[in-house]
Amino acid sequence: MSSDAKVTTSFLDTPCAPPVDGAADSWRRWTVIGLLSLAAIIAYISRSNIAVALATPDFSKAFGLSETDRGTVNSAFFWAYAALQLPAGWIVDRYGVKWPYAFGLLFWCVASAGTSLVTSMEQLIALRILVGIGESVSVPASAKWIRLNFAERRRGLAMGLYMTGTKIGPAVGTPLAAWLIMRHNWRTMFFVVGACGLVWLVPWLFVVTGRNGNRSRTPIKPGMEKTLSFRQLLASPVIWGTVIATFSYMYFVYFCMTWMPAYFIERRHLSLTQMGMYTFFSFGGMAVVAALGGWVADITIGRGGDPVSVRKWFTILGFVFACTELVGARSASIQTALTFSIVSLAGLGLATANYWALTQTLIPASAIGCVSGVQNCAASVAGIVAPIFTGWLKQRTGSYEGPMFACCAFLVTGVISYIFMVNERYAPRPEL
């Protein structure tokens, strides 16, 4: 075996060994996964509830919002969120997971509750930016914790369970926000969503031990303690392929999160309650498939499958399923359109756990916070672009078909980047 091959083998298998499996330690680690998933639910309810408010005519009229304005408000959360991903990743690598995440959640919940007090579009945008600042630490911290506490053979399930929270959030949050608006008003909705999230801090502070929760790790191989410079990371095609594919994946997700409620009401003429139900099944289906996709990939790897190939092809298959949204967009049948809105988003769940786990497979543990920040920055840029570009296309074309064609084009671009750029031979490695 060549020296390069030896480096690759050790790099994939033991760059940072997980804790020794004991009953108490195993229970604690899976409990933390539950808390990370719950925090993701809280975060995504806080970032998706604005789409429900914007789908109600009274809210848009209160602020005098045009179609482009609606897209701008939907995207405001991501302005600071995207800009802070690299700093957030550095903070997590430097200071650990426990306290940065605690302070971040406190900040975003207070800002979310504060949205109930806004009286102008400028104030609304400012509060959405503050929510984005608080949430910026969530993904780098979660990815770092999973990378340090789970072996490859279990990482897909761990990541899948965590990522279900990012889908359950909009699945539960959309009908919840709709119900609160119908029962009370949008101000009450924002206050309740923000204030209730603070309860999460109590179990988090008691269950998570140390900075990263991995007190009992087995020894790390000396060579893998070496760090990668940012320049070395950016020189890798894996990083750029991952950035492109992540943008493509999240463009579709954020289109669905920010404009799908309005699409259901304006194009398919559903009521607010029906809109909430179909959004629930779309994102709920994605959550279920995300967990199953990560679990099945873990089983396949455990039976001898190559981790990189298995996770890559699960991801590509998810992208292909997502492209079926175009079938619904082109159909005159309401039932067909609604069916494919569920099938496309649920099918994308095959990629959800695996594209994040693939990054953790290919990147050394010492750089995972930084790389997760880069990856989530790409996701956040999609959160900026998708709402604004969709609003612009809808205003120019007068329909939702153009925006849905754009989603498909990005998904195909993502597939191409995974096939040609995200390969093990291009993975960045410390110089031994």
* Domain boundaries along the sequence of the chain: 21-213+228-426
The per-residue pLDDT for 395 is: 84
What pLDDT, on a 0 to 100 scale, did the predictor assign at position 239? 87
Residues in the chain: 432
Nearest alpha-carbon partner for 52 in 66, 73, 82: 73
pLDDT per residue as tens digits for the range 154-213? 777 888 788 888 888 888 888 899 899 989 999 999 999 999 999 999 999 988 876 655
State residue 374's pLDDT score.
Answer: 81
pLDDT of residue 15: 42
One-letter amino acid at 154 equals: R
- Assess contact for 141 and 208: CB atoms under 8 A: no
What stretches in the chain show pLDDT beneath 50? 1-20, 215-225, 432
pLDDT digits (tens, 9 = 90+) for 70-98: 888 888 888 888 888 888 888 888 888 88
Beta carbons within 8 Å of 45's beta carbon, 6+ residues apart: 169, 170, 172, 173, 176, 177, 193, 197
Q: What pLDDT is attached to residue 224?
A: 42
Q: What is the 3-state secondary structure (H, E, C) of 190-253?
A: HHHHHHHHHHHHHHHHHHCCCCCCCCCECCCCHHHHCCCCHHHHHCCHHHHHHHHHHHHHHHHH
The pLDDT value recorded for residue 23 is 58
CATH topology of domain 21-213+228-426: Growth Hormone; Chain: A; (1.20.1250)
* pLDDT (0 to 100) of residue 431: 58
Residue 54 is given by DSSP the state H
User: So what's the pLDDT on residue 210?
Assistant: 67
> CB–CB of 354/315 below 8 Å?
yes
Give the integer Cα–Cα distance in Å for 17 and 152: 10
Q: Which of 362, 356, 354, 358 is nearest to 294 (CA)?
A: 354
- The pLDDT assigned to 22 comes to 55
As given in the structure block, the two tokens for residue 96 are 């650990």
